[in-house]
Amino acid sequence: MNKLSASLLFGLLPLGVAGCSAQEARPAFSKAPTASVQPRGETKPVGTGNADAADDPAIWRNAADPAASLIVATDKKAGLYVYNLKGEIQSFLDAGRVNNVDLRDMGAAGIIVAASDRNDKVNPKLALFRLDPATRKLTLLGHVPVGTGEAYGVCLYREGDKLTAFNVIKDGTINQVELDLTGAAPSGKIVRTMKLGTQSEGCVVDERTHRLYVAEEDVGMWRFDARATGSTEAIKLASADGYQIVADTEGVALAEIGPDNGGYLLVSSQGDNAYAVYRLSDDSYVGRFRIMPGNGLGGTEETDGIELIVGDFGPDYPGGLFIAQDGINPPSAQNFKLVAWDDIRAALKLD
């Protein structure tokens, strides 16, 4: 979860106030080499001001007209925004406290959007919506119970015409829910449960390799077999060691390149306002980068959710679009910064 920036705190409090020395108040930045990129765009701020509100984005790529693609993003105090690639608000749906969001184009069933619903912190639900690309609006389909505890992360996994959701509960429980979208209202059943030891949130699935990646905030990155018949064993991919990742380990996203296991996993290193990158083929660490001010836009700090889709998104993002939540966006409320995948690749000298 997003925290009050230590760097901001240092700027506000004089030396020694509340027991904080200058050294204690500064953030513990990694000493690892860290490249820099600049945003090419940003969204309008979310409506909830003076609060940790913006959280997680998802991207729908319009294959027929890439520049007309859409972004769905959460204000976790209020609901869901739909933005265009210029960052302009196309619609807003009052959905209450929805934390993380993901989507899949399910063909005849439409573009299905799933959000972790934490309006009830004891009985978590998955809120399901349909995105209409013509009207650029969301329609609520219904809610599906996903166990007990506080709903945090969610990511979707499509196998043919079957859609399942991984629902990450705050305590590290991961419930895999098989969804049924054929009825008047959606339904689901928990088909498998996995567990990490402490608070967890961000997740993403590589449908090519059937791998689920989950961020355990103070510990690091893990991966699982995403198939319902697969092992529930957690395999450690990276640690929040203060070098590759500075806790919290937050949002996760994939750069899927090719039909097999090519590409990269990107992880929000929230503690030092950076993003770590790993190679999917062998889980090896590649490097890290920060989003710095440029092009008349601010950088990012304390990022929660991130998303990345490789492919053509029009002239501003011809190779792919990376989106990162910006936890500190003065003088406005929090928003989301848009970065060209080509710029990240160039900065890190990726394939």
- 332 C-beta neighbours (distance < 10 Å), count: 13
CA dihedral 23, 29, 30, 35 (to 10 degrees): -140
Chain segment 249-279, per-residue pLDDT in tens? 999 999 999 999 999 999 999 999 999 999 9
- 263 C-beta neighbours (distance < 10 Å), count: 22
CA dihedral 320, 323, 329, 332 (to 10 degrees): 90
Mean pLDDT of the chain: 93
Q: Indicate whether 325 pLDDT > 60.
A: yes
Q: Indicate whether 321 pLDDT > 80.
A: yes
From the number of C-beta atoms within 10 Å of its C-beta (0-12, 13-18, 19+), residue 290 rates as buried
Q: Indicate whether 9 pLDDT > 50.
A: no
Question: How many CA atoms, within 13 angstroms, populate the side-chain half-sphere of residue 11?
Answer: 5
- The stretch 238-253 carries a mean pLDDT of 98
Residues paired with 16 in a beta bridge: none
DSSP string of 41-91?
A: EEPPPPS--SSS-EEEEEEE--SSSGGG-EEEEEETTTEEEEEETT--EEE
Q: Indicate whether 4 pLDDT > 50.
A: no
- 318 C-beta neighbours (distance < 10 Å), count: 14
What pLDDT sits at residue 215? 98
- 159 C-beta neighbours (distance < 10 Å), count: 13
Q: Indicate whether 344 pLDDT > 50.
A: yes
Alpha helices in 86-210 (DSSP H): none
- Residue 21 tokens read as 């020395």
CA distance 296 to 234: 43
Chain segment 188-216, per-residue pLDDT in tens? 999 999 999 999 999 999 999 999 999 99
Chain segment 57-94, per-residue pLDDT in tens? 999 999 999 999 999 999 999 999 999 999 999 999 99
Chain segment 11-24, per-residue pLDDT in tens? 333 333 333 333 33
DSSP string of 270-306?
A: GGGTEEEEEETTT--EEEEEEE--BTTB----S---E
CA distance 288 to 174: 27
